[in-house]
Amino acid sequence: MNHIAIVGCGFWGPNLIRNFSKIEGIKLTACDIREERLQNIRTSYSSVNTTRDFNEILSCDEIDVVVIATPATRHFEMAKIALENNKHVFVEKPLAITTKEVQELIRIAKERHKILMVGHTFEYNPAVIKLKEYIDHGDVGSVYYIYSSRLNLGQVREDINAMWNLAPHDISILIYLLGETPRRVSAVGKAFIQDKIEDVVFMTLEFASGVIAYVHVSWLSPSKVREMTIVGDKKMIVYDDIDNEAKLKIYDKGISKVEDAYGEYFLKLRSGDIYIPKIDLNEPLKIEITHFIECIRKSISPKTDGENGLRVVKVLEAAQTSLKNQGAFVPIE
């Protein structure tokens, strides 16, 4: 039996409670400073205990797991003290807001022999996993470039900008798909609604393999977009997370260099079939938290462990530096 405390019951916390409540051998406690949020939890889940006191979570020996879904600026301090109190810890993205903080969490987790996992949910998404298979098996050929858009009207945050709120997903997907971390990044953005909190950010990521990726994130856009396009020398793939009927579309399109009978080369446009593979529609969050519990019970390292979170935060931290320097490229150590 694992006793799990979900800390933060605002936007995402209820989704975590919903999924954890379906796993056998789980006891749940919800923690939030707002009583109205806890009342909503009690109404929906009569078996879930509630408290407004985080210290009560820390001092309870029965609680062995803490899941943190608070604002990002609180992730480090809450994860740190939970690990120091011998709890396994799951943190929603981003794991923290500096690489130094993430490295400290990794160190404490290792010293305490505790599981530390970050909520990079899309790495558990069946469509993204299938997309990686196509890339790894050579169906796309050599990847030229990737561009991604993650747009919506809201939810506007007051603690972090749109890049820190939205781009962790795109960065984790890119690193997962390509199997490498970008070597440098550039970012430009604008703050329209709140002073010094960018509502829209455009990122350029360059990889050692030669792949270049563009990421556009904003919470100030008229429509919801969750789309990534991979362009290779053989085929092109569009991943649309919103389209449940066709999450992946594989285009047999491209431009080929063809040699004629005289040894001269010319460019030929190729436009073939569009293939839509069948994708398992299991909820990624369910797959993710099931994996987390399995890692705790079997004492194995998670797919999205602290090192995984560190790679993403390194990119974000470098991109934040670029934002402050008018889009200058910043190397990623």
Q: Is residue 276 part of a domain?
A: yes
CB 325 within 8 A of CB 189: no
pLDDT of residue 270: 86
What CATH code is carried by the domain that includes residue 289? Answer: 3.40.50.720
Please tell me whether residues 289 and 147 are part of one structural domain: no
Residue 168 included in any domain: yes
Pairing outcome for strands 49-51 and 65-68: unpaired
Q: What is the reported pLDDT for 258?
A: 80
Q: Return d(Cα 270, Cα 258) in angstroms, integer.
A: 11
Q: What's the whole-number average pLDDT of the chain? A: 96
pLDDT category of residue 112 using cuts at 50, 70 and 90: very high
Q: Are residues 61 and 167 part of one domain?
A: no
Is 259's pLDDT higher than 90?
no
Residues 91 and 178 in one domain: no
pLDDT of 262 above 80: no
- Tell whether 261 and 152 lie within a shared domain: yes
Same domain, 166 and 83: no
Of 68, 180, 43, 153, the closest CA to residue 118 belongs to: 68
Which pLDDT score, from 0 to 100, does residue 94 have?
98
Q: Which residue do the tokens 């990122």 mark?
A: 203
State the total domains in the chain: 2
The pLDDT value given to residue 8: 97
Same domain, 82 and 216: no
Residue 48: CB atoms within 10 Å: 18
* 67 beta partners: 6, 90
Q: What is the reported pLDDT for 268?
A: 84
Distance of CA 241 to the CA centre of its chain: 13
Report the C-alpha gap between 72 and 111 in whole angstroms. 24
| Shared domain check, 274 and 137 | yes
Q: Does residue 115 share a domain with residue 103?
A: yes
Residue 308 has pLDDT above 90, yes or no: yes
Q: Do 68 and 161 lie in a common domain?
A: no
- Whole-structure pTM value: 0.96
In eight-state DSSP terms, residue 267 is E
What pLDDT does 264 receive? 78
The span from the CA of 20 to the CA of 41, in Å, is: 13
3-state secondary structure of 287: helix
Cα–Cα distance measured from residue 302 to residue 287, given in angstroms and rounded to the nearest whole number: 12
Q: Are both 244 and 289 inside the same structural domain?
A: no
Q: Is 80 exceeded by the pLDDT of residue 89? A: yes
132 inside domain: yes
115/18 same-domain check: yes
Nearest to 147 by CA among 225, 221, 220: 225
Is it the case that residue 307 has pLDDT exceeding 80? yes
| The predicted structure's pLDDT at residue 191 | 98
Identify the weakest region by mean pLDDT among 27-31, 191-195, 261-265, 296-300.
261-265
Alpha carbon 265 to chain centroid distance? 43
Give residue-wise pLDDT tens across range 194-224: 999 999 999 999 999 999 999 999 999 999 9
In a domain, 309, yes or no: no
59 vs 262, higher pLDDT? 59
Q: For residue 260, give the CATH number of its domain.
A: 3.30.360.10
* 190 touches 199 (CB < 8 A): yes
Helices (H) and strands (E) in the chain, counts: 9, 15
Q: For 279, list phi and psi in degrees, rounded to 5.
A: -115, 135
Q: What is the mean pLDDT of residues 283-312?
A: 98
Check whether residue 177 and residue 321 sit in a common domain.
yes
Residue ranges making up the domain that contains 231 = 125-282+314-331
Look up residue 49 and give its two tokens: 């205990």
